[in-house]
Each structure stands twice: as C-alpha cells, then as structure tokens.
Chains A and B, each alone.
Chain A
Amino acid sequence: MNLLYEMFPMALGIATPIIITALGGLFSERSGVVNIALEGIMLVGAFVGATVSVLTADALGALTPWVSILAGMVAGCLYSWIHAYASIALKADQTISGTALNMLSTGLTIYLCQLIFKGQRTPTFTENFTRISIPVLKDIPVIGKLFFSDLYPTFYIALFLVLVTWFVVFKTKFGLHLRSCGEYPQASASMGIKVEKMRYIGVLTSGALGGLSGGIMVLTTNIQFSVLAIHGVGFIAMACLIFGKWKPFGCLAAGVFFGFSQTLSKYSGFIPGLKSLPSEFFYCIPYILTIIALILFARKSVGPKASGEIYDSGKR
C-alpha cells in the first residue's frame, strides 16, 4: 500500500499534461480537424513557458510558474494558428500540415533558444511548481493520501479543465455546433453554422491547451528546457483521446491509466510478478492498447465522423 501511495502522485504528475493535451485534441477533432501537431505545439508551449520562467523569476518570485504556463498557452495558441490557416483556409492535408509543424517546432525552439541563451538548453529554473497537500482533505483515510497529498497543483487544473470541457462541448449550444461540424459539416452549414469559424475555434483551443500543457510539463517534470522536453507526450495524448473515446471523462481516465503505465516502468522492480518484465514493456502499453482499442471501436462509430476531412461546402 505504501508503494501505491508513492506511485500515485508520480502517476498523476505524468498524467496531467497528457490529459490537458488530450482535451485540446478533443476540441480540434470534434470540430473536424485532426491535430497531429499537438506534440509540436506542446514543445513550443514548453519553450516559451521555460523562457518566461527563466527571464522573469527575479521579478515575479513565486508567481513565476503561473505566469509562465499562461505564456506557454498563448504561444501554443498562436502556433496552432498556422495549422488552422493551412488546413482550414488553404485546405491543406491536415496530417501533412501537422507533421510539418511537428518538424518545425524542434528547429524553431532550439534556434530561438540558441539566440536567447547561447545554448541548446535553457538555464535551470529557479522558480518551479512545488508539490502541495490540501489541508483537511489530505487526512481522509486512503483517498486523502492518493488524491490530496504531495501533488502538483496543476493536476487540479487538469481536473477543472475536464469539467469545463465536458460542460462546454456537451452541454452548451456552442458545443453542439462544434460537434456538428465534426460529424456532418455540410448539414451544419445548411443550419447557418459557420463551419470554418467553428473549426478555427476548435484548432486554436487545442493549441492553447497544448501550449498550456507543454508549459506545465516542463515546469513540473524537468529542471530546464531541452529538445527532449516533451518526448512523445503529445502523441500519447492522441492515444489518450482515442482510448478515452473522444470524451472528456474518458480522457481523464485514460490519461491517469497511461500515467500509471509509465510509472510502473520505474517501480516494476519492487512489485513481485512484474519484476521479470522489461521497462520497455510498460512504455509500450499506451500505444499497444490504443491500437487494440481502435480495432474494437472500428465497427461502432465512436469518433467524430468528419474528423480529418477537408471541408468542401459543395460536397453532399
């Protein structure tokens, strides 16, 4: 049980950026645009977050990480605008545009990093997120130790965003319009919904969430920014979105589960029965399970139907 108490905060820490980015992907895909660029958007958010953190730490003190993740959010939103413009206005292939943005992100961030800091990495952060325990709640037996002690405050941001996403996408008129654009855009257009505008909102929201999550990731799990700051979490988030069936609470559950599988790779040596498995096995779990999930979902229509399709107003 002690082992579980030790693993939980770590798993939730890893899960936080996965969940937030997956929510970003949800907005984008629900509006009908596949966003493969999430990985690159996170990297840009992480770079800008880290840079702001290093440059403003003296002036802002303990507020620094919060300002930094907001800066990352703005940067991610701006960066995703390229994807939105290319894939919506210029009708580019969404997969290729996303791939290009992923490639561009490593070049761009490290180039700027060398201009600003004269090196491939930023200096180490002085102001970081610190783990907190929620008073009173942490004393609840079992649950208190699992969910309310030794956690980064950013995990609660993720929880909050899950609730907001659920409400906005599934309980409001705006959300209904957004989802209709990802299912049958031509029908939405005939109802007077501006498909292109909704898709812009979807992609830019995904950029903002991806940037935010990149900032959070670098400021919680790292001591500085480098090109390996994100190392594939953007793609795990895509897997999380699919495994969570394109639903906010699904993303939450899948994200926590994937966080656990990563944590297990570090703790498997202490758990009888898992000792003999190589750590690579646990790293693979999210990807293999997602492929299996895709096969199981294949016959049912789980995801947004028009996601990835270029919107052609003349198509029937």
Chain B
Amino acid sequence: MNSKKDTLLISLLAVFIGILLGVVILIASGHSPMILFNALLRGTFGINLTMGTGLNLRYLGEFIVFSMPIILTGLSVGFAYRTGLFNIGAEGQVMVGGMASVVVAIMVPLPGVLHVIACVAAGALAGALWGFIPGLLKSKFNVHEVVVCIMLNYTGMYFSNWVVRALPGSTESKTAMIPASASLNSDFLSGLTGNSRLNWGILIVIASVLLYWFIIEKTSFGYSLRATGFNKEGARYAGLKVDRNIITSMMISGAFAGLAGTIVALGVFNQGRTLAAFENYGFDGIAVGLVGACNAIGIVLAGLLFGMLKVAQPIMQIAGVPKQIGEIISSSIVLFVAMQYGIKIIIGRIAKRRLEKKEGSVSQ
C-alpha cells in the first residue's frame, strides 16, 4: 500500500490541473497567463518581474496575514475529516468565534495580557460550542452533520450580527474599537515586515498546527479518532467510545475555526463587524483541509497556496484580469480533489492497459 504517496500525488495533480485550467481560461478570454504568475509572485513576495522591483517584506507579511485564518479553518475541516465527519460548519464557527472574542474584549475588562488570553479563549470556546451541536446531534440522533452545520452557519451569522449590534458603542455595521489590551496587534512583527498587518495571531496558528499534529499523530486519543473515521462500526466493536469521539472531534474542530475568527477580529480589524454574507473562511478551509490531505504539514502548505491565490487577486484586477480567476482556480482544485477516487480508477485502468500491452507484445 502506498496510499500516502497516492494522496500527495492526487493533491499535486489537482493543483496542477487547477492552475492549468486557470491559464486556459485566461488565454481563452484574451489575457496573457503571465499576469497570473506575475501576480502570484508579486502578491506573495512583492517581486515584480515586469517592473524589476525586488523583495518587499510588506507583501510577505500581508500574504501571511491572509493565509493564517484559512490554515486554522483548514485544521478545523481536516480534524473533523480524520474522524469521518465533514465540518462544512467552519464558516459559522468562525463567525461566533470572532463575535465571542470581541464580546469579551469590550465587556470584560482585565489587566494586561490576561485580557487578550481571555478573548482568545472565548473565541475558541464559542467555536467549540458551535461544533458541539452538530456533534451531539450526530452521535445521539444520527442526524447528518452536514445539514446541521449548514443551518448553523446561517444561524451563527444572524446571531453574531445581533450580538455585535447590541454591544455598547456599536453602530449598525460594527462595534467600537477594542481596547489595546485585547488586541493581537504587534508593533514588533509589523515593523519586521514593513508595516504589514502581521500580528501575534501567528503564534496561535503555529501552536494550533503543532497541537493538531500532536493530537492526531502522537496520542492514543488521536488514534482512536482516526480509527473512528476509518471504520465507525469497527471502532465501536473494538470498544472505542465512538459517540464521545464524534462530539469531542467536532468540538476541537470548532475551536480551531473559532480561533480563525478570533485572529481576524482581534488581529486585523480590532473590532466586531456585522456581515451581510459569508466571508468564506470556512469554505476556503474545506479547500485547504482536503488539498492538504488532512495532514498538519499538508494543511500549512495548502493554506499558503490558497493564501497566494488570495493576495494575487487584487493585483490581477489592477492588471485588467477579473480577480475571480483566483476563485475559479481554487474551487476547481477542490473539485479535482473530490474526483480523486475516479481519477485513481482511471490511472489504474491506464496502467493496467499498458501492462496488458506489454504482456501482449512479449507473448507475440
């Protein structure tokens, strides 16, 4: 069995076909595909080939800022997927997480660094709670988590909007600015990267990635989660607490997503906002988690890849290419990853045919 190698191959193949599709669309609509590659390079590092400008750390910082939340939602989706659950609810968990962290930031005055710790904890907890609901319903009533998650996404958005509006000092669209003690802003990190919005959220992301890797790969709890995902009935027969695993897994998954909302609220905007529509952090997380094959390192790499596509978008728009090409590429990558079973069969068939041909020519 070389399934690990296969998964890596599928992911790389999907990314390749996705970018190829983007290039084909660009050519078909009369644009030079070089615009795409130039924008990717410029958005990530600030390097502009046509103008000849070199590395710009500010671009690098902004690129990391864009990648951070989708790495966290990628961890969220990946963690649930390892237990055989599809967390399409990361979107809602992001929103309640961000909302809860802002509520603590504004309503609970705490001294010094305690304040920001409490805010981050509140965000993770709110996300975990939002993940607990589908987990509970799945284990107790066998209700499919996907449908519950979709319903909770919208419930989460409206609920968060209502709370954000009800906070003291809020306008129709946003809360007051949070106190500096609750902010994740970092003069140090910002100064290091040419005044980008890079913030202490990066520590939360790094800690989450390490935690994810540790739980999944190194603990017996992670092993029992993976066993549950691999074969639920088998795991039950082996004496594992499948129901409890489902709930815990959804809660941890929700906590990762809640943290994504937290670092966006406390690190980038420094206030709570009401939303008219989803910001797609959760859906991007599905892309990141699946392309990263639900593996800690894979998720980081996939998060950076999708972050690159994000920062390239405005640059392409300025160059006269509709920026939605980035969305087309990332969603087609997901589609190709989804088709992996079929692709594997097709690859297998081709290999078999080749083998038959070889055997045929030998026997002749």
Contacts and interface: CB of A to CB of B under 8 A. Distances in A.
B155 A284 contact: yes
Interface in A74-119: 82, 86, 89-93, 95-97, 99-104, 106-108, 110-111, 114-115
17 contacts: A92-B338, A92-B339, A92-B342, A95-B146, A104-B332, A111-B25, A111-B325, A232-B154, A235-B153, A283-B154, A283-B158, A284-B155, A291-B137, A291-B151, A294-B137, A294-B148, A298-B142
A82 B335 contact: yes
A115 B283 contact: no
B56 to A, nearest CB: 27
A294 B41 CA distance: 48
Interface residues of A, number: 47
Contact residues of A: prevailing secondary structure: helix
With a 10 A CB-CB cut-off, give which of A107, A278, A281, A295 has the most chain B CB atoms: A107
Contacts of A106: 324, 327
A82 B336 CA distance: 11
B40 interface: no
Contact of B162 (A82, A95, A278, A290): A278
A232 B283 CA distance: 14
B332 A100 contact: yes
Given A90-B339, A294-B143, 19 more contacts: A36-B150, A89-B342, A91-B341, A92-B342, A95-B86, A96-B334, A97-B339, A99-B283, A100-B331, A100-B332, A101-B335, A103-B287, A106-B327, A111-B322, A278-B162, A280-B158, A284-B155, A298-B141, A299-B141
A5 interface: no
Interface in B282-313: 283, 286-287, 290
Contact of A287 (B88, B155, B326, B339): B155
A114 B322 CA distance: 6
A280 B164 CA distance: 12
A23 B142 CA distance: 25
A107 B345 CA distance: 29
Interface in A293-312: 294-295, 298-299, 308, 310
Contact of B152 (A101, A287, A299): A287
A254 interface: no
Contacts of A256: none
A284 B338 CA distance: 31
B334 A99 contact: yes
A296 to B, nearest CB: 9
B51 interface: no
B214 to A, nearest CB: 27
B29 interface: yes
Interface of A: 34, 36, 82, 86, 89-93, 95-97, 99-104, 106-108, 110-111, 114-115, 228, 231-232, 235, 238-239, 242, 278, 280-281, 283-284, 287-288, 290-291, 294-295, 298-299, 308, 310
Nearest to B327: A107
A115 B146 CA distance: 35
Contact of B290 (A96, A238, A280, A299): A96
B148 to A, nearest CB: 6
Contact of A111 (B277, B328, B343): B328
Interface string B99-119: 000000000000000000000
A103 B330 contact: yes
Interface string B124-163: 0000000001000100011110111011111100110110
A308 B277 CA distance: 27
A231 B337 CA distance: 26
Contact of A99 (B143, B286, B345): B286
A266 to B, nearest CB: 14
A283 to B, nearest CB: 5
A95 B145 CA distance: 11
Contact of B338 (A96, A102, A238, A294): A96
B325 A288 contact: no
Nearest to B334: A100
Closest 4 CB pairs of A and B: A90-B342, A107-B327, A103-B331, A114-B322
Contact of B158 (A103, A284, A299): A284
Nearest to B141: A298
A159 B142 CA distance: 33
A307 to B, nearest CB: 9
Given A96-B286, A232-B154, A107 B342 contact: no
B276 interface: yes
A111 to B, nearest CB: 4
Nearest to A287: B151
A136 to B, nearest CB: 41
B164 to A, nearest CB: 10
Contacts of A86: 335, 338-339, 342
Contacts of B328: 104, 107-108, 111
